[in-house]
Structure formats: structure tokens, C-alpha cells
Homo-oligomer: A and B are copies of this chain.
Amino acid sequence: MASRTQATTTAHEHSEASVLTNDSAPKQAEVQMQRSGPRRSKYRHVAAYHSQLRHSSLSRDSDVTPSFMGFRNLMVLVLVAMNLRLIIENFMKYGVLICIKCHDYRKQDLVLGSILFALVPCHLILAYIIELSAASSAKKVVGEQKKKSDEEKERDQQAFRSTWPYTAFLHTVNATLCLAVTSFVVYFYIHHPGIGTLCQLHAIIVWLKNCSYAFTNRDLRLAFLNPSADPGLPEIYATCPYPRNVTIDNLTYFWLAPTLVYQPVYPRTASIRWSFVAKRLAEFVGLAVFIWLLSAQYAAPVLRNSIDKIATMDIASILERVMKLSTISLIIWLAGFFALFQALLNALAEVMRFGDREFYTDWWNSSSLGGYWRSWNRPVYSFMKRHVFSPLVGRGWSPLAASGMVFTLSAILHEMLVGIPTHNFIGVAFFGMMFQLPLIAFTAPLEKMRDPLGKTVGNCIFWVSFCLVGQPLGALLYFFAWQAKYGSVSRM
């Protein structure tokens, strides 16, 4: 960077009115000539342009490595040019494929989807009722304890605790129903994969919130029943101690807030900036339209053209198709990430005055797959860490085994999210997630290297495995399975 600055400054200092005067060696010569007075014009041809030993700047002999910022600009330009060319090629081949009226869905899909969207949050209300009864029992036990002896206290607590398995059972049935009913309806009765995915995503989010709500309240109740010992509760909860948090308002806030981790109290912002909300929503809508255009005009033909190649297992062609698809799926992925995690979640957080906006950290710099999974989706990461990983480690599991459990659960949820709406339980999403574990183990040493090269290699492995191969290949396989089952992308 320093050499770059130096180089441009030098060029700047010497720049004069004309093209050919910006140079230090001729400058010296000129000064020399001016000194020699009247013969100036006659001696122009003798200046010593080669007056000292100098190295080519790309040679190893050279002391200063030149800046290569220009090549960064060139890379961006070549990427733009290559993709512009593909856009022209695409239009010459296919014309305009975007068609608003062509989008077709069965009325049944919409009706069922709406019913599911309305039903799923009801399970949260059931969870609230379960918690409310548990809380009132707990209050009674604690209220009566003041008058009783230690022995009686102990007996009461034991009696109360014996009811806990029922609470846990009710929560489990409630949460499982939420997920099972939705999955069943989507798999068997909702044909359109888009509507199906939305329903399934909603159900999974509510299921996770349900779990977090139940687990957190159980521990809070435990702390409530043992007031003598240091409760070890976070200071932020002090403003709303158990069981005052078990209210319908508190639960509604958790339902709508952009988090999967239940806390009685969250950090809150002072006010809602509606202009901020409007900007984020405009970003979301713009990107959604952008993604739709890209999918219809670019991704769809590539996917369609690749069906024959997969059917005949033509490896070179499949590779070529995956590579062609990788650029477009990468752009869709990046746009989708920004639309959801930056635009939509920030808009939601602003409306909810939810203070912690760390929905992601700089995952694009991840130098290992582990780093990526820790940083790209913080809501899910936080849930897994708080309700799966930490408790398992607390029970004596090794961190490795606990991580395995986290990824297994995550793999099941991913397969449910992709396999059910596409009506194909082919396991690609499941095994794709499980395959992360060896990749994480493989790239972990690279992340810890002091040499920046190690980190760069780790980062490249992440991009290649995840974005350039994993995603387009997954999309291709689910698309192929869909085609094999239904013969056509949509019921056009």
C-alpha cells in the first residue's frame, strides 16, 4: 500500500501540462540543459536517460514490490465484462423469459398455506399456557415455604418436581405437533415449492422458539425455587424476574422479535426510526425482485439444460453446468443473504425496538468452515449453542460430540426445509450439512495459522466448497429429483 501511495504521489508531483513531461530522469536532464544556457536547443539529443543501475519492478532484485491495485480493478472489470457477455448471450438464445402471468399455483396451496401460517403460532400460546400453570404451581410452593420447616420444604419441592416430566412431555408434544402437522400438509398437499418452503420455514422458526421458551423457563423456575444460592442469572433479567415474565405480552414480543433465543428481557432501542424501516424494506423488496428476475432468466435455463446431462451421467457436462450455475447461484445467495439478514431482520428489529442487531458477523472473511458456521447465521448459531451445545457439554459430552449433535440436528432441519417442500427426501441437504464436520476439521488448522496465506487458503476452501460447488450442485440435484417426479418445473 505504501509503495502505491509513493508511486502515485511521485507521478502527481511531476505532472505538468503535457503527456510526456512526467518523468524524473528527463527532469534532471532538463535542469542540466537549462543550466547550459543558449545551446539548450542544440543539446536536446544527448541527455543521459540511462544514468544509473535500476531493476525492473517485477524482478526479485527490486527492493520495492509495486502495488497491484490496478489488477484488483481489472478483476472487477473482467467479472463485469464476462457476465455482461453472458447476459447478451442469454438474451440472444432465449429472449425474455420473465413472465408475471405465467406463475401458476393451485388455489388449494394458498388456502392450506394460510391456514398453516395461522395455526403454527397457536402452538406458542399452548406453550404459554403450559408455562403459566407450571409458574403458578411454583409460586404456590415458594409462597408456602416461608411458613414451613426445611423438611417440609424439601418434600414440597420434590412433589412439585415430580410434575416436571409432565410439563416436559406437554411441551414436547406441543412443539412436535407444530412441526409434524406442517411437514405432513406441505409434503402431501402443497404442491408449489415456494409456498411450501415459506410454511416449512415458519414452522421451523416457531418450533425453535418454542423449544427455547420451554428450556429457558425451566431453568428460570429452577432458579426461582432455590433463592438462597447465588442464582447466577444475567443482570439484564433483574427487571423482569421469574415468574413475572410468563405473560402473553412477553411471549408475543419473543414471537415477533428477530431471535430464536428466549430471554425475559432484551436490550431495546429508545425509539423506532421509520425511515430506517422504510429503507430496509425497500432493499428487501428490490432484492427479492432482483432474485426472481435472475432465477427466471438465468438460473432456470441452466437448470433445464442440465437435465439430460445428469440423466446420462456426462461428467464433463455436469461439471460445466455446475460451474455455469455457480456464478448465478452465488449472486442469488449473496443477494438473498443481504435481503434476509441485513434488510428484513434489521427492519423487523427496528420495528420491535430490538437492540442486538448482530444477525451475522463478517462470514465472508471466514478462514475455515467452522468460522463460517459461527458467523453467517447468528440467530440459529445462538440457539444451537445455548440449547444444544452448552447443555450437552455441561452433561459431560466432549465438545466434538456436542458439535456432532448440533450438526446432526441442523442437518435434519435443513433436509426438512428443502426436501419436504420439493417432495423429495433425497438427503442431499442432510449429507451436505453432515459433510461440514470433516471440512471443519480439515480447515481448522488453516484458521489458526499465523501466516496470512493459511487464512487465504482456508477462505478459498470455504468459498469453493460452499458457494461454488455445494450450493449449485445441491440445487441441481433437487431440481433433477423434482423433474424426475413431476416432469415439469411448474404446472404451467
Contact = CB atoms under 8 A, between A and B. Distances in A.
Interface stretch (A98-106, A119-127, A358-366): A358-366
A384 B44 CA distance: 12
A223 interface: yes
A468 interface: yes
Contacts of A163: none
A265 to B, nearest CB: 8
Contacts of A269: 53
A239 interface: no
Contact of A330 (B49, B78, B345): B78
Nearest to A403: B19
Contacts of A8: 365, 367, 455
A57 interface: yes
Given A19-B370, A365-B66, A266 B50 contact: yes
Interface stretch (A9-17, A170-178, A200-208): A9-17
A389 interface: yes
A447 B75 contact: no
A432 to B, nearest CB: 16
Contact of A447 (B11, B30, B391, B444): B11
- The DSSP consensus for interface residues of chain A is helix
A18 B464 CA distance: 23
A267 B50 contact: yes
A471 interface: no
A56 interface: yes
Given A17-B399, A68-B364, A390-B44, A75 B75 contact: yes
What bracket does the count of chain A residues touching chain B fall in? 35 or more
B75 A387 contact: no
A222 interface: yes
Nearest to A342: B58
Contacts of A26: 385-386, 390
A232 interface: yes
A46 interface: yes
Contacts of A399: 16-21
Contacts of A345: 56
A71 B216 CA distance: 39
Given A365-B4, A399-B21, A15 B448 contact: yes
A394 B230 CA distance: 91
B30 A390 contact: yes
